[in-house]
Amino acid sequence: MSQAKPDTTTTDDTSTSAPEKKTFDLKFDLKPKEVKQYLDRYVIKQDDAKKALAIAVCDHYNHVREVHENPKVADTDYSKQNVVMLGPTGVGKTYLIRYIAKLIGVPFVKADATRFSETGYVGANVDDMIRDLLTQADDDIELAQYGIIYLDEVDKIATPPNIIGRDVSGRGVQIGLLKLMEETEVDLPMMEFQQKGKVGKRIINTRHILFIISGAFNGLKEIVNKRMNQSNIGFNATVKSQTELENPFQFVTPQDFIEFGFEPELIGRLPVHVICQNLSADDLYYILKHSEGSIVRQYERAFGAYGIEVSFSDAGLHRIAEQAYVQGTGARALMTVCEKTLREYKFEMPSSSIREFVVTETVVEDPAGELQRILEDADYNRPIVMRERVRR
């Protein structure tokens, strides 16, 4: 998708009812396999999730392209491919959507569902996401209308079954989100503009904005398992294997979401279900070693700013991955382990004569002790660096 140069042609027509001329050409010619191959560079594993997202995104933007080229297509029936993503924290859900938006070239907004409340109550309004999208589009309304909104922690706005009174941060937010997903026009009252000698309000239509919501959905697995076990009672029941039961999200239905606490109308407008899997210690090592978005690159740049070259041995990367896996927060834990391991190195080394060192398994297991040995004995550090050079 590319953005052409804005049309700067002026006109003397003062009619405010005339439609605005399109400011850019919308082009989309990606195929699902190309989208997945791009995501493979940044997000490890999650192959099924990548395929489902690639198909949904291509379907959506192929339709958007057709509408852009032929407005009559807008009158045809089309169910927007809004997505609900399920999976634990730190498995790459946000990364997947962020890089999809980057690949396509559309504005992207990420928001936390817990900060919203029903319109008229204390808290942010879901319409604010649309205004944020306009900001990301550099104030280009038409481009903003083709953007992606990613709402995380959406499981936190499920309506508890025993709530008494008005649920302004749960059901109220769901109703507001439902209106945006269907098709509505959002006013931008604070952004009045001068056009052709008259003041008017700008409006964003949400028809072609792709909505993706995600969460860990703790408790949903129990609902699915309960339903499956009930269906397996009786003489003619088909018993599910233990392997299938270990991943109940693959059997989730709209009714399960409704029992969890979501409005039927909202779930009905989220036809694409994407399941993300837990990451193993080996997966975390692969992220460190091969992902283009690896945290290792950040540390190489951070030390490089002081003229220090840092290398990571394979054994060191494996140890970081193992410690991160124990924390149970997926890839997010990699940053935590690296920061704990290398904090003192960042503080001490820029003021020392050391200009090269290796993050070995020993560094990860005993950061303070290894740092002292490196700083005090150049003959201790030099062979380690040389061995790593030879290995590479």
Tokens for 307?
Answer: 């003229």
Question: What is 101-124 written as a DSSP string?
Answer: HHHHT--EEEEEGGGB--TTSSSB
Query: Distance from first CA to last CA of the chain, Å, rounded?
Result: 39
Beta carbons within 10 angstroms of residue 149's beta carbon? 26
Q: How much is the pLDDT for 333?
A: 94
Helix H segments across the chain? 32-40, 47-69, 93-104, 127-136, 141-144, 171-182, 220-231, 242-245, 254-260, 264-268, 281-290, 295-304, 314-327, 332-348, 361-365, 367-376, 378-391
For the segment 113-134, what is each residue's pLDDT rounded down to a tens digit? 888 865 545 457 788 899 899 9
Q: Where do we find the tokens 């030099």?
A: 382
Length of the chain equals 392
14-18, 69-73, 115-119, 180-184: which is most confident? 180-184
For the segment 327-349, what is each residue's pLDDT rounded down to a tens digit? 999 999 999 999 999 999 999 99
2-6, 107-111, 233-237: which is most confident? 107-111
Domains annotated on the chain, with CATH: 32-275 (3.40.50.300), 281-391 (1.10.8.60)
Mean pLDDT value across residues 241-245: 45
Would strands 185-195 and 198-205 be described as parallel, antiparallel, or unpaired? Answer: antiparallel
* Cα 235 versus chain centre, distance: 45
Q: Say if CB 106 and CB 1 are below 8 A apart.
A: yes
Percent above pLDDT 70 for the chain: 80
Reported confidence tier of residue 234, pLDDT bands at 50, 70, 90 = low
Cα distance between residue 196 and residue 213, in whole Å: 40
Mean pLDDT value across residues 350-356: 94
Reported confidence tier of residue 290, pLDDT bands at 50, 70, 90 = very high
Q: How much is the pLDDT for 125?
A: 79
Residue-averaged pLDDT of the chain: 83
pLDDT higher at 277 or 4: 277
For the segment 198-231, what is each residue's pLDDT rounded down to a tens digit? 455 678 889 899 999 999 898 898 999 888 887 6
Mean pLDDT value across residues 86-97: 91
Identity of the amino acid at 219: G
C-alpha distance from residue 194 to each of 13, 198, 204 (Å):
14, 6, 17
